[in-house]
Every structure is written in structure tokens, then in C-alpha cells.
Chains A and B, each alone.
Chain A
Amino acid sequence: MPYFQTWEEFARAAEKLYLTDPMKVRVVLKYRHCDGNLCIKVTDNAAVSDCLQYKTDQAQDVKKIEKLHGKLMRLMVSKETHSGSMETD
């Protein structure tokens, strides 16, 4: 289960994985206030190697993680399009 070092790499890989198979992918957020950490996992439940994770204890990452989460949510509720015509934030 690869953990990513940089947010940008993770976000790119996560979106790519989602677009490969939107119905299979699930996004999991795990927040531990007592330990001060947040972990986001994106997986298609297939190979272990397709489970992407990013863990952080930095407050500045909360907004990034929440934004990606929101982006994936919007992708999930929009009709499947394969063009680049997504609404910008």
C-alpha cells in the first residue's frame, strides 16, 4: 500500500485512479483528534498496489484533503464525461 510523500503526487494519482473505474473506487478519510493526524485513502478494492494513501499531521493539509474529497464527490454525482470540461472551483 504505497504512501505518498507529496500531496501533489497523491492528488494526481487519486484522481486518475477514480477516473479509471468510478464505480469501484472508494475514498476513506480517517481523522484522529487525539493523535492529531488525518489519513486519506483511495482504493478500487482490486490490487493492494492500487490503494493510495496519504497521511499527515499538518493543519495546512486539511484544506487540501478536504478539497480533493469535495472534487471527487462532485465527480461522482456528475454524469460521466471524458472531456476536460469540468467546472472550476
Chain B
Amino acid sequence: GYAHALETQISFLTELTRLFQKCRTSGSVVITLKKYDGRTKPTPRKGHAESFEPVDNKCLVRASDGKKKISTVVTTKEVIKFQMAYSNLLRAHMDGLKKKDKKSKGKKTKATQ
């Protein structure tokens, strides 16, 4: 149910945080996002095509550091909660890029928030 889905998503996010932490000094974190129709088995060549009803409201999120692979399924019900946590996670951990300093006065002290 809903609670279970949230739980798997939370553990996915925890594991994703670990992947980012592991890859600070070397390596890549690769995240893949794809729409998911709920299929758990490959399409049969003949017969029983009607027994599978594709769903329209799921996506599959996968992440890897080249060694460890994790994944989770997100549906319309959890997407808002998941997205908030997920986007915060990405912004917090993808912090190694160059910052543009518009008002550079040559100061080395950090600005207070």
C-alpha cells in the first residue's frame, strides 16, 4: 500500500545519499528515470496478452555508482512527497560545480546566510 511504497522510497533515498557520499572523491553517480507500465514479466509471444493491464501512473528510478545498484517505483500518490525529498537530495549532493560569483570583490570570507 501507500505506507509501504513510501518506506521503499525512503530507503532508496537513504541509499542514494550513500552513493553520493561514496563518490565524492572519485567515480560517478548515474540516475536513470523511465516511465513504467507495471510489467513484471516479458510480453508473452502468444496467448494471455489480455491478462496484463499496463498502468499509466508509474515511473522507475534507478541509481548506481557502477558497483551498487538501487531502484524504486514512484506512482502519482507518492510523487509529490518523493520529489520534495529527492530534489533536496540532488541539490545538496550535487554541490561540486563551479559557482558564479557576480559580486566578486576578491573577498575570501564566506557570506553569512
A residues sitting closer than 8 Å to B (CB atoms) are: 22-23, 25-34, 36-38, 56-63, 66-67, 69-70, 72-74, 76-80
Contact = CB atoms under 8 A, between A and B. Distances in A.
B29 A30 contact: yes
Interface stretch (B6-14, B45-53, B92-100): B92-100
Given A23-B35, A25-B35, A70-B83, A38 B94 contact: yes
B79 interface: yes
Contacts of B93: 31, 33
B90 A73 contact: no
B91 interface: yes
Contact of A31 (B58, B86, B94): B94
Contact of B76 (A22, A28, A78): A78
Given A77-B59, A77-B79, A23 B37 contact: yes
B38 to A, nearest CB: 12
Contacts of B27: 32, 34
A27 B94 CA distance: 17
B99 A25 contact: no
A58 B96 CA distance: 9
B112 interface: no
B83 A33 contact: no
B35 A36 contact: no
